[in-house]
Structure 1
Amino acid sequence: MFVPLHDTNELKYIRVQYVTITLIVLNVAAWLFTTFASVEQAERASLGLGFIPALIFDHAVLDPSLVLVPEDMTFLTYAFLHIDFWHLAPNMLFLWVFGDNVEDALGHFRFLIFYLLCAAAGAALHGFVTPESEGPLIGASGAISGVVAAYFLLHPRVRVWVLVLFRIPLPLPAFIPLALWIAQQFVMLALNMDDAVSWGAHVGGIIAGALLVLVMRRPGVPLFDRRIVTPRAVHHKPSVPQVPAHVE
């Protein structure tokens, strides 16, 4: 529906979004490993680190040779794997644009916990919706959905440059594209339109993000910040007063 490009919502409490940057690096590193690994290694990573509901709900058993981490850890490890570049890139772009300000509002450590809890919530709802699925869930979308929900509650009036329909760049108040995006996730989950996308993971992350930001944000950080911050690309220079010419 839309792709976020950038905002100019300045950091207020931290100098650098260390956790956001680290999460992006880890996701890219994991993608590079699975991309350049053999097909067998990539499949083993997906099965051993991906979240498989049928294993959690005892509908299936994974071959011991494929087990890489305890089953409970896959609630988190799945969020660092991606199928291909086009699966990775949108997630990392959303995280880059919106993650820094959520990290700023929560603090580094609490943001990391927030991110992981949103990932776990996404896996949990995905498992609840499809308890017998033997396909591995992978991707950071559940965690990213939580970040989007938190940003929506924190900075709805910040103007964000977005690429609408992948073609038209527009500066919009954040609440417009984010509200539409959030609504789309719930509608798609209700309609079960696309089995290739886990709408349940998205919705689980959204619900977790919206609830967690209420209790995890720094003391004094408001919800629904009323300040309007405009992207630099649409800042207007102050007009120069016109001085009447003197004719001699």
Structure 2
Amino acid sequence: MVIPVHDVNPVRRTPYVTYALIAANVLVFLYTPGLAGSVAGDSALSQLCHLRAFMDHYAAVPQELIHHHMPRLVPTGEVGAGPHGSGCVLGPPGYDKSPPLSVLTAMFLHGSWLHLLGNMLFLLIFGNNIEDRLGHVRFTLFYVACGFAAAYGFALVNEDSGDPLIGASGAVAGVLGAYLVLYPRARVWVLVPFLVFLPLRLPAWLVLGFWFVLQAAYSSGAAVPAAGTVAYAAHVVGFLAGMLLAWPLRPGTPPPPEPRRLLWGRQARHGW
């Protein structure tokens, strides 16, 4: 897996929406119970129970998205003792939840620092150019639309799952799909793990195409025994949604200009 660090694709306007999305995701993570105080996302039992209740309230759950009803019992956030030891208490939901609205709130929830930083890195590198091409308002609508497509696409193939679906990955995958359509020839600086991390400048079609192939392979189980806790199918659907939404704009998109002086893919006058 390659790690992108910067793309050689200048923008014409400040990507305010991209920056705002990154800030919102970080702030929500910092206020998520049981996660902000731990780099690994580990927590005590009481914190874990609060986290489960918080996620169940605000995350998207495939069963709820497809069947449009709440389960009879949900985590309450309290710790109780049972015949097999202490655990999180289940009880009737004390709140009303809109499944479609939960897709929006779930797009700002993350399960660990690694989960958050990975998504925000991709959004920072590739989101600015898509926002530059679409404009602030259309980019916002595009981002949300890809997130909804990813969540409902995942739910359709996992309609009996009661596990919370969280993360900006589906929406960010849509950004990657749009970038592949609009700027396939843009150059992207990446770090390739080979004994050490080797810096290479590769075309976007290779970097993003390879990323999509990996997600599709993971989703099908061809590359790993099982998807585990990562919703690879949501990545695939979000990526394809981004490609489809960006495709009508492709004829009017010129190839990205090549700066005269480069410093790791960035114009030297801007610094690192």
1:77 is the counterpart of 2:105:
yes
> Residues of 1 paired with 2:94 and 2:189: CA distance?
43
Cross-structure match for 2:80: none
How far apart are residue 132 of structure 1 and its match?
0.5
1:221 is the counterpart of 2:231:
no
Q: Percent of aligned positions with the same letter in both sequences? A: 37
Alpha-carbon displacement from aligned partner over 1:168-201 (angstroms, at most 9, x marks no partner)? 2211111111111111112222226322111111
> Residues of 1 paired with 2:153 and 2:178: CA distance?
18
Q: Is this contact kept in 2: 1:55–1:71, CA < 8 A?
A: yes
Q: Is this contact kept in 1: 2:190–2:201, CA < 8 A?
A: yes
Cross-structure match for 2:18: 20
- Quick one: structure 1 residues 158 and 48, their matched pair in 2 at CA, closer, same or farther if it must change by over 3 Å? same
> Residues of 2 paired with 1:81 and 1:39: CA distance?
15
- Quick one: structure 1 residues 61 and 111, their matched pair in 2 at CA, closer, same or farther if it must change by over 3 Å? same
Cross-structure match for 2:6: 6
Radius of gyration: which is bigger? Answer: 1
- Quick one: structure 1 residues 147 and 66, their matched pair in 2 at CA, closer, same or farther if it must change by over 3 Å? farther
- Quick one: structure 1 residues 115 and 50, their matched pair in 2 at CA, closer, same or farther if it must change by over 3 Å? same
1:174 is the counterpart of 2:204:
yes
User: Residue 190 of structure 2: SS of its match in structure 1?
Assistant: strand
User: Residue 104 of structure 1: SS of its match in structure 2?
Assistant: helix
How far apart are residue 115 of structure 1 and its match?
0.3
User: Residue 65 of structure 1: SS of its match in structure 2?
Assistant: coil
Q: Is this contact kept in 2: 1:3–1:90, CA < 8 A?
A: no
> In the TM superposition, what are the counterparts of 1:80-229 in structure 2 within 5 Å?
80-165=108-193, 167-191=197-221, 193-215=226-248, 217=249, 221-222=252-253, 225-227=254-256, 229=258
2:93 equivalent among 65, 70, 76: 65
> Residues of 1 paired with 2:96 and 2:143: CA distance?
22
How far apart are residue 27 of structure 1 and its match?
0.4
CA RMSD of aligned residues (A): 2.3
> Residues of 1 paired with 2:172 and 2:257: CA distance?
24
> Residues of 2 paired with 1:65 and 1:204: CA distance?
31
> Residues of 2 paired with 1:177 and 1:139: CA distance?
22
Structure 2 runs not aligned, ≥5 long: 38-46, 75-91, 266-272
How far apart are residue 226 of structure 1 and its match?
3.5
Alpha-carbon displacement from aligned partner over 1:50-88 (angstroms, at most 9, x marks no partner)? 111112233861545364641111122111000010000
Matched AA of 1:189: S
How far apart are residue 105 of structure 1 and its match?
0.6
User: Residue 81 of structure 1: SS of its match in structure 2?
Assistant: coil
How far apart are residue 220 of structure 1 and its match?
7.1
The normalised TM-score by structure 1 is 0.84
> Residues of 2 paired with 1:124 and 1:195: CA distance?
19
1:31 is the counterpart of 2:41:
no
How far apart are residue 227 of structure 1 and its match?
4.3
How far apart are residue 44 of structure 1 and its match?
2.2
Cross-structure match for 1:46: 55
Alpha-carbon displacement from aligned partner over 1:201-227 (angstroms, at most 9, x marks no partner)? 101101110111124x4x9732xx434
Matched AA of 2:245: L
Count of residues in Structure 1 that have an aligned counterpart in Structure 2: 229
Q: Is this contact kept in 1: 2:188–2:207, CA < 8 A?
A: no
Matched AA of 1:183: V
> Residues of 1 paired with 2:6 and 2:36: CA distance?
30
How far apart are residue 146 of structure 1 and its match?
0.4
Q: Is this contact kept in 1: 2:15–2:128, CA < 8 A?
A: yes
Bigger proportion of residues as helix: 1
> Residues of 1 paired with 2:205 and 2:239: CA distance?
14
> Residues of 1 paired with 2:96 and 2:6: CA distance?
37
